[in-house]
Chain A
Amino acid sequence: MMWQQFTPELYHFAAALLFTALSMTRRVDNRRDYWVALSLAGGGLIVCLAAVRAEGLLFLNTYKVDLFAQLFKVLLSMGLFLVVALCSELNGVARRWHSEFYLLLFTCTLAMMLLVSSVHLISIYVSLELSSYSLYVLVALRRDAAMGTQAALRYFLIGIFSSAIMLFGLALLYAATGLTYLSDLVQVLPGVIDQPLVLVAVVLTLGGFFFKLALFPFHFWAPDVYVGAPNQLAAFIATASKVAAVAVLLRVVAATGGQETLLVDSLAALAIISMTVGNLAALVQKDFKRLLAYSSIAQAGYVLIGILCMSPEGADAAIFYALALLLMKFTCFLAVVKIAADGGNPSLDALAGLHRRSPLLALALMMAVFALAGIPPTIGFTAKLLVFSAAMHKGYLVLVLIAMFNVVISLYYYLLIVKAAYLTEPAVETPAPVLSLSARALTTALIIAIVVVGFYPNPLIVMARQASSSLF
């Protein structure tokens, strides 16, 4: 049967429908919404895990279910589950909007699942837009409405601008080749990639994905949106949204099949500018969320190195990096959410004395920050090692050197976070963050995952290799 391959998407669609109904009930019951969302997200993770080996082509071959897509669906549903798990104190969103918040979160996850499976220009464009529209509205749901609408406006304007550019790129691609399926394009594009029209078309098309990944030159929204969005949503944008962008970029860049071309050079230039801009801007930030936003611009640059290799090793590295980003960024945002229990934006000073107030949270934050900086033996070190060695295999020595240099710059502000949490004494005594038993279990699990995957990455690398084998 065809629809069985479509179960994860159908499941999340049904969950979104359920929240549509809940949002129309008169009684506002936040605990009910939270538990329903948490159990649905948990069920979604199980459904995605069960469907991981499904394969097939759906909807006139515009939709490809393969290990690559299913693996990313597992990551996406894991991201959704983790983010919903943080929503027990959803203080950044007005009480009457909680069910809408979950409705849009599920819709956005659904759209991103569609995105990672799309292999046709229309389905890629439609699912990319659906996920973006959900996020625009979600950002505007911030209880502090001034902050929310400003961030949503900026996100919306940059988002529709980049998607219009992407659509024009798709149109040029179609005009130049007459093809709309990625599987057809991959056979034709490598031969014509050096034609000006095709190159312009591909670069414009990638613009839409760069927006999703917050990569230069479409990164301007990230700091404002991270600061303006509710903390839990910022966690979702930093994790799940990035994972989906990595997946679709891998698919599209692999379809160009270009080697040693102008395209690789321009992607390398974008990667270098992204990480340099992100790292340098992060050095001077005082707001914790703004710092994390600049750090994710820089991390996007590192991921792009894996993607632009256009080799199986590069794709493995990018997939592994996406998983690592999911865990590392989520752990950082877990700390943000728990420290700012009132739903506000914590500054770096708010971290002062965290190691006494909540040793577990401080330890989790330190591990996540070390992983982001790429210090062994964490998952972040393994991810960076994979990306850089894939680039070295292709002989991009200068690119790797510049990236290494950037890693050193980034150490400064990552260590500032650790210093704030461990060495600084708070000026005024602030109450300890409240961690329930389940939150403690989650935090411990994240610490263990960050360290253990850093030590034994092999099973995951093997899985990434199987997944990426369908790309090349």
Chain B
Amino acid sequence: MNVPLTHLLTLAGGLFFIGIWCAVTRRNLIMVMLGIEIMLNAAALAFVGASLRWQQMEGQAVALFVLAIAAAEVSVGLALIICIYRRYRTLDPAKVQ
């Protein structure tokens, strides 16, 4: 039995808002990036769910691309965060002035 698309979209939407919540409220750069990663994964989940609904492989392929792009994003972001930590000795974005 297939899970209906609406259930998957509800789950993905919930994850997406958890991600936004985490990215907007946390005072730590690593946690902000983590929140945005959750948002990306919510989108990947929605893609996989939709791919099941339409019986196509394209959604699955997008999910793989999202993984690769998220990895690239983390590498750029962590490099930047290390730069910032060396300079300011803090990970609080409000204190980077």
Contacts and interface: CB of A to CB of B under 8 A. Distances in A.
A363 interface: no
A341 interface: no
B30 interface: no
A422 interface: no
A175 B5 contact: yes
A160 interface: yes
A170 B62 CA distance: 10
Contact of B36 (A129, A136, A161): A161
- Where chain B touches its partner, the secondary structure class is helix
A167 B40 contact: yes
B20 to A, nearest CB: 8
Contacts of A165: 39
B56 A145 contact: no
A72 to B, nearest CB: 23
B77 A156 contact: yes
Classify chain A: how many residues form its interface, as a range.
20 to 34
Given A156-B77, A175-B49, A167 B93 contact: no
A145 B83 CA distance: 9
B84 A129 contact: no
Interface string B63-97: 00110010011001101100110010000010011
A164 interface: yes
Contacts of A137: 76, 79
B67 to A, nearest CB: 12
Contact of B93 (A140, A153, A168): A153
Interface in A146-165: 146, 149-150, 152-153, 156-157, 160-161, 164-165
Contact of A125 (B9, B42, B69, B87): B69
Nearest to A136: B76
Q: Which of A122, A149, A164, A165 has the most CB of B within 10 A?
A: A164
Interface string A378-400: 00000000000000000000000
A140 B56 CA distance: 41
A126 B53 contact: no
A126 B54 contact: no
A133 B77 CA distance: 9
Interface string A110-154: 000000000001100110010001001100100001100110110
Nearest to B73: A160
Contacts of A129: 69, 72-73
A220 to B, nearest CB: 13
Contact of A140 (B46, B62, B83): B83
A255 interface: no
Contacts of B46: 168, 171-172, 174-175
B87 A145 contact: yes
A145 to B, nearest CB: 7
Nearest to B38: A164
Contact of A149 (B49, B65, B76, B84): B84
B19 A164 contact: yes
Contacts of B5: 175
B58 A180 contact: yes
Interface of A: 121-122, 125-126, 129, 133, 136-137, 140, 145-146, 149-150, 152-153, 156-157, 160-161, 164-165, 167-168, 170-172, 174-175, 178, 180
Interface of B: 5, 9, 12, 16, 19, 23, 29, 32-33, 36, 39-40, 42-44, 46-47, 49-51, 53-54, 56, 58-59, 61-62, 65-66, 69, 72-73, 76-77, 79-80, 83-84, 87, 93, 96-97
24 contacts: A126-B65, A136-B76, A137-B76, A137-B79, A145-B83, A149-B80, A149-B83, A149-B87, A149-B96, A150-B96, A153-B84, A153-B93, A160-B73, A161-B23, A167-B43, A168-B12, A168-B39, A168-B43, A171-B12, A171-B44, A174-B47, A174-B58, A175-B53, A178-B56
